[in-house]
């Protein structure tokens, strides 16, 4: 007989996996990367993915609220400051010529709802790190299977430089998503060697499947951002698991360095329109020039920024400065400071699993706008979940015990 808690946990895992999966593949009408057609089943999923995400968020909210009396919010929680950052970002865009469209509004409220869910989940309902790992693994398997289905049947290929993007709207988002999957799998295998999570069946097999399948998808996508994220995860793995092997750590570092330098190659021209917004021409890899343009836009309005950008990809940190100036960057910086503090704390108690994806995502944010763009919301969901779980005050050598019950001081 299955207990009510196990049944509720199973429903929670399935709903959150479907939410991340649906947001990963939702179409946004992107004309930059086009395919001839998708099979009917894939078309149905893509066309209805947003409704699936809304439905699963609603059901998950109902599930948790039914077991919740109140919500606890910690003023030192990086999630809270991430929410403030998103609130300022959305508010700043209202006072521009472009304003907020329906898609941005829906995406913003999705972030609010997911933040609410995580607050509920981590306050009274006793978050379980094993459940979160199961959510990520299940989502990863679904994404890998459906992308390889498209690959084998010749769907999801891009006519632009022959890059594969599967069911995503852009190959870079595919690469960042799967680089994160690799990072989490590496972290899991690292902790597995210490004897944690021994209750899973076939867990290591799933890890190796996710590692190999995701790495091949990154190569097929042709995304250098994905390589940077993958390299960052490898560096963390090497430093934490091969502390005495300095040569290996140095080699891993140079892999990332070469990948970053490569961004300065094959650059196309950019121009600025009459409003001073930096725009990309011919969808080229314009990282170096775009960074210069973003800095110019920031200096033109350093306090509140210019409010809106038409750049599809560039880099999150300079883009945040350009969008909202110092006003927007301060809460974002506070979030990073609190997150860094928690990373140091996790290293002290030898809980490493969440350091891998955090390093991967923050490295990808250097060259990709994953922290500012609506198309990257599944990546943001993963980041929010990871940040939430990394914020643990319970000192324990066991990762499972450390996250089974979270102790939040200084509640408001």
Please report, rounded to a whole number, the percentage of residues in the chain having pLDDT higher than 90: 0
Place 78 in a pLDDT band, splitting at 50, 70 and 90.
Answer: low
Distance (Å, rounded) from C-alpha 186 to C-alpha 236? 9
* pLDDT above 80 (res 363): yes
Place 108 in a pLDDT band, splitting at 50, 70 and 90.
Answer: low
Closest listed residue to residue 118, CA positions, set 321, 391, 323:
391
Rg (CA), the chain: 21
pLDDT for the residue numbered 51: 73
Distance (Å, rounded) from C-alpha 189 to C-alpha 353? 9
pLDDT for the residue numbered 271: 40
Looking at residues 120-148, what average pLDDT do you find? Answer: 67
* Range of weakest confidence among 21-25, 135-139, 148-152: 21-25
Distance (Å, rounded) from C-alpha 48 to C-alpha 409? 41
Distance (Å, rounded) from C-alpha 287 to C-alpha 397? 42
Looking at residues 159-167, what average pLDDT do you find? Answer: 69
Place 371 in a pLDDT band, splitting at 50, 70 and 90.
Answer: confident
Position with higher pLDDT, 360 vs 91: 360
* pLDDT above 60 (res 159): no
Question: DSSP character for 155?
Answer: -
Contact between residue 371 and residue 331 where contact means Cβ atoms under 8 Å apart:
no
* pLDDT above 60 (res 397): no
| Structural domain spans, the chain | 4-404
* pLDDT above 50 (res 239): yes
Across 144-158, 300-314, 398-412, the highest mean pLDDT is recorded for: 144-158
* pLDDT above 50 (res 36): no
Looking at residues 4-19, what average pLDDT do you find? Answer: 70
Please report, rounded to a whole number, the percentage of residues in the chain having pLDDT higher than 70: 45
* Range of weakest confidence among 145-149, 252-256, 291-295: 252-256
Looking at residues 296-314, what average pLDDT do you find? Answer: 72
pLDDT for the residue numbered 64: 62
* pLDDT above 70 (res 67): no
**What is the CA angle 381-287-174, rounded to 5?**
35
Q: Tell me: the pLDDT tens digits for 306-348?
A: 766 555 557 788 888 887 888 888 888 887 887 777 777 777 7
Helix axes 102-123, 40-65, angle to 10 degrees: 40
* pLDDT above 50 (res 394): no
pLDDT for the residue numbered 322: 82
3-state SS class at 272: strand
Closest listed residue to residue 396, CA positions, set 189, 193, 105, 194:
194
* pLDDT above 50 (res 279): no
Q: Tell me: the pLDDT tens digits for 181-210?
A: 888 888 877 776 555 455 555 677 778 888
Position with higher pLDDT, 71 vs 4: 4
* pLDDT above 50 (res 282): no
pLDDT for the residue numbered 149: 81
| Terminal alpha carbon distance of the chain | 39
The residues that bridge with 271 in the sheet, in sequence order, are 279
Place 403 in a pLDDT band, splitting at 50, 70 and 90.
Answer: very low
Looking at residues 275-281, what average pLDDT do you find? Answer: 41
Task: Write down the mean pLDDT value for the chain.
Answer: 66
pTM beyond 0.85, yes or no: no
pLDDT for the residue numbered 405: 33
Q: How far is CA 400 from CA 64, 288, 396, in A?
A: 22, 43, 9
Looking at residues 28-51, what average pLDDT do you find? Answer: 61
């Amino acid at each position: 007989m299955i207990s009510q808690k196990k049944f509720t946990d199973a429903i929670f895992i399935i709903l959150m996996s479907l939410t991340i999966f649906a947001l990963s593949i939702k179409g946004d009408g992107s004309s930059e990367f086009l395919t001839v057609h998708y099979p009917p089943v894939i078309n149905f999923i893509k066309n209805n993915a947003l409704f699936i995400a809304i439905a699963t968020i609603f059901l998950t909210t109902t599930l948790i609220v039914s077991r919740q009396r109140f919500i606890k919010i910690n003023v030192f929680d990086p999630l809270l400051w991430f929410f403030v950052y998103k609130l300022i970002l959305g508010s700043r865009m209202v006072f521009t010529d472009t304003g907020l469209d329906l898609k941005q509004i829906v995406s913003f409220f999705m972030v609010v709802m997911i933040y609410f869910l995580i607050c509920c989940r981590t306050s009274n309902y006793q978050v379980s790190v094993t459940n979160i790992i199961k959510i990520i693994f299940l989502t990863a398997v679904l994404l890998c299977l459906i992308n390889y289905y498209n690959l084998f049947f010749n769907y999801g290929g891009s006519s632009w430089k022959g890059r594969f993007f599967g069911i995503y709207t852009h190959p870079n988002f595919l690469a960042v998503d799967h680089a994160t999957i690799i990072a989490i799998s590496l972290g899991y295998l690292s902790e597995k060697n210490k004897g944690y999570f021994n209750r899973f069946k076939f867990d290591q097999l799933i890890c190796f499947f996710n590692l190999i399948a995701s790495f091949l998808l990154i190569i097929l996508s042709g995304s250098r951002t994905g390589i940077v994220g993958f390299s960052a995860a490898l560096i963390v793995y090497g430093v934490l698991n091969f502390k005495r092997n300095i040569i290996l750590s140095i080699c891993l570092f140079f892999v990332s360095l070469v990948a970053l330098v490569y961004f300065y190659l094959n650059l196309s021209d950019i121009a600025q329109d009459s409003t001073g917004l930096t725009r990309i021409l011919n969808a080229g890899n314009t990282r170096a020039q775009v960074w210069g343009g973003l800095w110019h836009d920031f200096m033109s309005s350093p306090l509140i920024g210019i409010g809106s950008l038409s750049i599809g990809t560039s880099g999150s940190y300079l883009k945040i400065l350009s969008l909202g100036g110092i006003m927007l960057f301060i809460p974002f910086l506070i979030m990073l400071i609190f997150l860094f503090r928690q990373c140091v704390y996790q290293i002290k108690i030898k809980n490493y699993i969440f350091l891998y994806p955090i390093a991967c995502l923050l490295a990808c944010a250097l060259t990709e706008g994953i922290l500012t763009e609506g198309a990257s919301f599944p990546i943001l969901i993963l980041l929010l979940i990871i940040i939430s779980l990394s914020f643990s005050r319970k000192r324990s050598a066991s990762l499972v015990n450390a996250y089974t019950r979270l102790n939040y001081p200084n509640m408001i």
